[in-house]
Amino acid sequence: MPKPRVVLLPGTGSDEIFIRSVFSGPLSGMGAEVITPPPPAESLLVSGYLRALDTLASAPREGAQEGPQDGALIVGGVSFGAHLAARWALANPHRCAGLILALPAWSGQPGEAPASRAARASADLVEAHGLEAALRLSADGVAPWLAAELTRSWRRHGDGLAASLKVAADSPAPELEALRRLEIPAGIAACVDDPVHPAGVAHAWAEALPRAAVVETTLAALGEDRESLGRAAVLAWLRAGGLPAGQGTAV
């Protein structure tokens, strides 16, 4: 039997390095193949990620049997990455075997959601003052681990950072009514001390999804241990009935 494939997408301004640090350890207990595509450039952020998921779902797999679920993926991500994963699942219900999500930031249009406002403000800072000055302003007063993550990932995005932040800030998440159509296990992690990603959004998603669970953690825990967020999401997925046949349960 081939390993379950879990494809994970990062949040706004983040990258595959961070999301691997969050999820690789917790997913190792179920023997999953963890796939973390790097962020597409600027305006291709949404279409590039969705196209990457299409390509992965269509790729032939050694040891797979012929059938409609051969290319099925477990998909997920953090914040904006969670939105894209759920959007792809809605468009590809027969190619998605589950959702492992963390910190969804809004439902439907972003409006004045805190995460959308924060991304727009960050983009404005970068455009007005340049990357290094924007980093100094954005990292001032935040937790050291978050300042270090912003510095590493924003510099990696480079000149395309502002454009990608704007794309994410203006992109719709799935409507709650649409999520009711997803008959797959969905695990959602929420941080109860995160004002940018309100825990209420995660609980609203879970109430809409037919087979979902939420596990709460904190940003303080994430600062001490990146895998704490991944463990919460994977545990929620297991509670929602997402255990692959023949796999272990350690998270």
The tens digit of pLDDT for each residue in 109-121 reads 999 999 999 999 9
User: pLDDT band for position 137 (50/70/90)?
Assistant: very high
Average pLDDT of the residues in 217-232: 97
User: pLDDT band for position 67 (50/70/90)?
Assistant: very low
pLDDT exceeds cutoff 70 at 250: no
Which pLDDT tens digit goes with each residue over 170-193?
Answer: 999 999 999 999 999 999 999 999
CB contact at 8 A, 193 and 220: yes
The structural domains of the chain, ordered by start, are 5-107+173-239 (3.40.50.1820), 114-167 (no CATH)
CB contact at 8 A, 19 and 36: yes
Which pLDDT tens digit goes with each residue over 9-36?
Answer: 999 999 999 999 999 999 988 889 999 9
For residue 70, what pLDDT is reported? 53
Q: Is the pTM of this model over 0.85?
A: yes
Contacts of 112 (CB under 8 A, 6+ apart): none
Average pLDDT of the residues in 62-84: 77
pLDDT exceeds cutoff 50 at 68: no
pLDDT exceeds cutoff 60 at 69: no
DSSP secondary-structure letter at 172?
A: P
- Classify residue 42 as exposed, middle or buried by CB count within 10 Å of its CB (0-12, 13-18, 19+): middle
